[in-house]
Structure 1
């Protein structure tokens, strides 16, 4: 099994000191972004500078797109699949922990059900990060993983119906574009990823529309 995975993408060894340093900064980034996200939630948009108000950052950070993108970025830039799993777990732990500590001790309320959703997502994030690490590998498995990521980001960036197709948010469209650059390895590879990802997006969307009608 290890040989099979190494043929898809081979891990790179780095010194323990660098592992600890990278992990520390990833945890710190999660804590900072979680705190900033909650502060934006608690700040009325008309109190923000006009540019930030127009970008609607509070709503942007409350959606999944930015967190999926950052998790994928951390995963594929890690040197090994287990490092990807550990790094993404640290990032989400820092983000979710700081967000809800701010919610409880500063904002003064305790959204238990919503918090449990994010705790579950944090717990499963190492497995997803482990899989995402192989998106930058070789062969059909990497193509399928990359296309699945691209499909999820497309679902976040675009709103799709029977008679319409539109961009949800300009920032999420930028993330969608950034995903292409993150997953890029060669023109042929990214063409396969985009085509397969769009096909998956179109196949999944009718089920979403069907459930929305019920």
Structure 2
């Protein structure tokens, strides 16, 4: 099994010090983004500078797209599947922990049901991260993983129907382009990923993923 996975993508060696610094920076980034997203939740948009109000960052950070994208980037650019699992878990632990600590201690309420969803997402994030790590590899397995990632981001960015098509959020449209850039390895590979991903998008159009959060 290990030999098979190594044919898809081989882990890179890096010094322990660099690993620790990278992991610590990801944890800190998670904590900071958790606080920022909660602050944006609690401040009325018309109190923000006009540029931030127009970007609608509060709604952007309350949706799954940006967190899926960041998790994919963290997992794919980690040096090994194990480091990918650790880094992604700590990112979500920092983000979810700081978000709900701020919610309880500063905002003064306790949204238990919604919090449990994010705790569950944090718990399973290491396993999903290991899978995502192999998206940067070679062969049909990597293309399949990349296509599923692309499908998830496409669900966030666009709404489809028999007679309609629309962009859900402009910032998630930027994430859609950024995802293509992150997944890109060659023209042939990215055409396959986009084609399969769009097919999966249409096939899953009526399915609610992540408890309707997508």
The residue number in structure 2 matching 1:66 is: 66
Q: CA deviation at 1:207?
A: 4.6
TM-score with structure 2 setting the length: 0.96
User: Do the aligned partners of residues 109 and 14 (structure 1) sit closer, same or farther apart at CA in structure 2, a change above 3 Å counting?
Assistant: same
Which aligned segments of 4 or more residues in structure 1 are displaced greater than 6 angstroms? none
User: In structure 2, how many angstroms separate the alpha carbons of the residues matched to 1:40 and 1:206?
Assistant: 31
The residue number in structure 2 matching 1:123 is: 123
The residue number in structure 1 matching 2:192 is: 192
User: In structure 1, how many angstroms separate the alpha carbons of the residues matched to 2:182 and 2:30?
Assistant: 19
5+ residue gaps, structure 2, are none
Q: CA deviation at 1:161?
A: 2.0
TM-score with structure 1 setting the length: 0.96
Q: CA deviation at 1:51?
A: 1.0
Q: CA deviation at 1:162?
A: 2.7
User: In structure 1, how many angstroms separate the alpha carbons of the residues matched to 2:183 and 2:127?
Assistant: 19
The residue number in structure 2 matching 1:153 is: 153
How many residue pairs get matched?
Answer: 209
5+ residue gaps, structure 1, are none
The residue number in structure 2 matching 1:135 is: 135
User: In structure 2, how many angstroms separate the alpha carbons of the residues matched to 1:6 and 1:127?
Assistant: 17
Q: CA deviation at 1:206?
A: 4.2
Give the secondary structure class of the aligned counterpart of 1:205.
coil
- Superposed, 1:1-214 pairs within 5 Å as 1-207=1-207
User: In structure 1, how many angstroms separate the alpha carbons of the residues matched to 2:165 and 2:101?
Assistant: 38
